[in-house]
Chain A
Amino acid sequence: MKLYVVVKNALRTLLRNPMRAMLTALGIVIGVGSVIAMMEIGSGSSEALKKSISNMGANMLMIFPGMTSTGGVSGGMGSAQNLSPEDCEAIIRECPAVRTAAPTVRVRVQVVRGNRNWVPNQVQGTTSAYLDVRGNTIEEGSPISERDILNCNRVCLLGKTVARELFGDESPVNQEVRIKSITFRVIGVLAAKGANMMGMDQDDIILAPWTTVKYRIAGSSMTTANQSQSSSTSSTGSTRGVLYPSGSTSLYPEKSSTQTANTPLTMRFATVDMILASAVSPEAIPDAIKQITALLRERHRLHPQAEDDFSIRDMTEMTNTLSSTTKLMTNLLLCVAMISLVVGGVGIMNIMLVSVTERTREIGLRMAVGARSRDILLQFLVESIVLCLVGGIIGIMLGHGGAILVALMLGWPVSTSIPAIVAAFMVSAAVGIIFGYYPAWKASRLDPIEALRYE
């Protein structure tokens, strides 16, 4: 017997009792529908999560200085002043897995413009690489240039929130703001990024050259727990060397090497609060961490047994925590949906058993006119599979529609998942086979004489 004839007969039989078929398939409809809706909403939210993580800075690594501990009093993470801008430059130069890096100096100060004032969440001193690392773009104006950094220029970029608070609807570019009573020229406005995963406003920010922030604004940086530690305003860093390239300005006569060795000059390096680095790809993050660690240990001249005097953090921890939470939720809901599929399958089995009993005479007759037991088996199996597939298709449409509805009404992110639809289709067919097999087998085992005589 041709398969399509069997399928056609099955459809006809089911249509003979449409209400019953619908109610029977309802369990499958609900099961498949909820699976699809869960998958689409779940994958939508995990995609949104990924987006918001990459929004914070794709493949970002944060390098913090170590901590100081004086007489048993720990200064806390980042209290040591041992990360220099030269470390940052070396990282860019020598670590192949790092795309770019930016030093940052943070202060929290008041910004004044005319009669308005505002304390931005972050006032960051940095380089133009910062924009690249954080994935920021400039909406209007120009970025911080190399020259601004070398000259300690008083220029700054405003985040959207700060621009709105201080300038309202006016364009802030080329206007002036005072940061801690020092006049800065606004050279640009950052494009809005919105809140990050922790709900922190990423637009409440001012970016300025790190040299300016370090030497002109910061008496002490925010991350310096010990406020008594005065900031280093004198520097022998390479940036200063670039700034005053010729040695002709030296005030004192050159020291001989012996003199230098005898009276070592205690030099104070410019330090930064944090270095932000960006790996070339998400897969390169572990490599980047290894390379940076090796480089910084070498630069800081650490004994092989000594502990790192810095720490590197990446976003994977955070990503993992957050995505494992959403994954857990999705899986739990999937389990519930699976249970409803099983319940639906039991419903199918129940109705198929009733149907076999009801149609015992028909089975006997079909056997009498030449149906083999496998024909009967196929007939009932196909009936239950068709029932499940129709239920599955309706469920897919309902689930998809539900997900779209959720997206429209609640604004949740959803994404259509083709594998989920295919899987749902297969699962409903499988439910049809698994739960339809026993009734069909029972039908095929009937004795034709008994079946014909059945009342």
Chain B
Amino acid sequence: MELITLKNICKTYNLGDIDVPVLKGVSLDIMNGEMVALMGASGSGKSTLMNILGCLDRPTSGEYWLDGEEVSRISSDRRALIRNHKIGFVFQNFNLLPRTSAVDNVAMPLAYTAGHLSSREARKRAEAMLEKVGLADRMEHVPSQLSGGQQQRVAIARALINHPPVLFADEPTGNLDSHTSAEVLKMFQDLNRTENITIILVTHDAHVAGHAQRVIHISDGLINDGVYCAAPPVEEDVR
């Protein structure tokens, strides 16, 4: 079944009096348990699309169904809740809290989870997550004491702490060397296979994209190929 359905998503930035259309009618479906790579030239709107998919931003128009819920028009508090429960983010630059131990970094999203966990339970869960990403011996290390690959693994553990059905990664290997990239990608693949987590990653690297089951190419705000969606992409001027 579809986890994500986009219908004719448009995003237009407004700079003073000029409108900058970035997404010009994107429609796509992503099934539950898929691993999808998003590719495209720089400035083609990949990050913009990811922000909308990650409920960080709202589309200017169009429909976005996530896990059976239309989320493009809901309030920001509700979107925060969805981000907390249903979405995990992995960033290119890791975005860990500085001078904060790996466990505390991983447990951080739990602070915003409504289900009340005691701080001890939260810690336990964070430790279990870190073990899962292979950092059992780095619990108390702060980010500056971790290598790039380790930091990204901490970030993955943080993204998974609330067991979200979907993981978004915007150039997760952009700051890593090829060896650690491979490690991280392997981890994504494992998660995708064993835990059935849907993974959507943005990359410039065809080799990275090769790890995914499906590659979606985006250029100039429109999806070129790799779309499951039955409906053909709509014409230019949707504004």
A residues adjacent to B (C-beta < 8 A): 1-2, 5, 9, 16, 361-362, 364-375, 448-449, 452
Determine how close the nearest CB of chain B comes to the CB of A17; give it in whole angstroms.
Answer: 9
A371 touches B112 (CB 8 A): yes
Point out the residue from B54, B76, B95, B119 that lies within 8 Å of A365, measured CB to CB: B95
Q: Which of A362, A370, A373, A452 contacts B84 (CB 8 A)?
A: A370
* Nearest B residue (CB) for A370: B84
In whole angstroms, how far apart are the Cα atoms of A41 and B11 in the complex? Answer: 67
Please judge, given known A-B contacts A449-B51, A449-B57, whether A368 and B83 are in contact too, CB under 8 Å: yes
A-B contacts, 18 listed (Cβ < 8 Å):
A5-B111, A361-B95, A365-B97, A366-B112, A367-B80, A367-B83, A368-B56, A369-B84, A370-B80, A370-B84, A370-B85, A370-B109, A370-B162, A371-B111, A372-B80, A372-B112, A374-B77, A448-B56
Q: Which of B51, B54, B76 is within 8 Å of A372, CB to CB?
A: B76
Contacts of A372 in B (CB 8 A): 76-77, 80-81, 112
B158 contacts chain A at the CB level, 8 A cutoff: yes
In the complex, which residue of chain A has the Cβ closest to the Cβ of B111? A1
Distance of A5 Cα from B110 Cα, bound (Å): 11
Q: Please give 18 more A-B residue pairs, beta carbons under 8 A apart, in addition to A369-B89, A369-B112, A452-B56.
A: A1-B111, A5-B119, A16-B99, A364-B95, A365-B97, A367-B80, A368-B56, A368-B89, A369-B83, A369-B84, A369-B109, A370-B84, A370-B112, A370-B113, A372-B80, A375-B112, A448-B56, A449-B51
Q: How far is the CA of A247 from the CA of B52 in the complex (A)?
A: 121
Specify which chain B residues have a CB less than 8 angstroms from the CB of A449 in the assembled complex. 51, 56-57
Whole-angstrom distance from the CB of B189 to the nearest CB of chain A? Answer: 23
* Pairwise interchain contact B76-A366, C-beta atoms closer than 8 A: no
Determine the residue in chain A with the shortest Cβ distance to B77.
Answer: A372
B96 to chain A, nearest CB (A): 8
- Of A366, A373, A448, A452, the contact of B108 (CB 8 Å cutoff): A366
| CB pair A1 B51 closer than 8 Å | no
Interface size of B as a range: 20 to 34
B179 close to A (CB within 8 Å): no
Please report the C-alpha to C-alpha distance between residue A368 and residue B93 in the assembled complex, in whole angstroms: 14
**Cα distance A448–B51 in the bound complex, in angstroms:** 10
A370→B81 contact, CB < 8 A: yes
Nearest to A455 among chain B residues (CB) is B93
Say how far A245's CB is from chain B's closest CB, in angstroms: 95
Query: In the assembled complex, which residues on chain B have CB atoms less than 8 Å from the CB atom of A375?
Result: 111-112
Min distance, Cβ B47 to any Cβ of chain A, angstroms: 9
Q: Chain B residues near A9: list those with CB within 8 A.
A: 111
Question: Cβ of A362 and Cβ of B97 under 8 Å apart?
Answer: yes
In the assembled complex, how far is the CB of residue A182 from the closest CB belonging to chain B, in whole angstroms?
91
A369-B158 in contact given A1-B111, A449-B51 (Cβ < 8 Å): yes
Contacts of B120 in A (CB 8 A): none
Interface membership of B64, Cβ < 8 A: no
Decide yes or no whether B188 CB sits under 8 A from chain A.
no
Tell me the chain B residues, 143-189 only, with Cβ under 8 Å from chain A.
158, 162
One digit per residue, 1 when the CB lies within 8 angstroms of any chain A CB and 0 when it does not, for chain B 73-89 equals: 00011001101110001
- Residue of A with least CB distance to B109: A369
How many angstroms from the CA of A146 to the CA of B148 in the assembled complex? 103
Residue on B with the closest CB to A368? B89
Q: Of B109, B112, B119, which is in contact with the most chain A CB atoms at under 10 Å from its CB?
A: B112
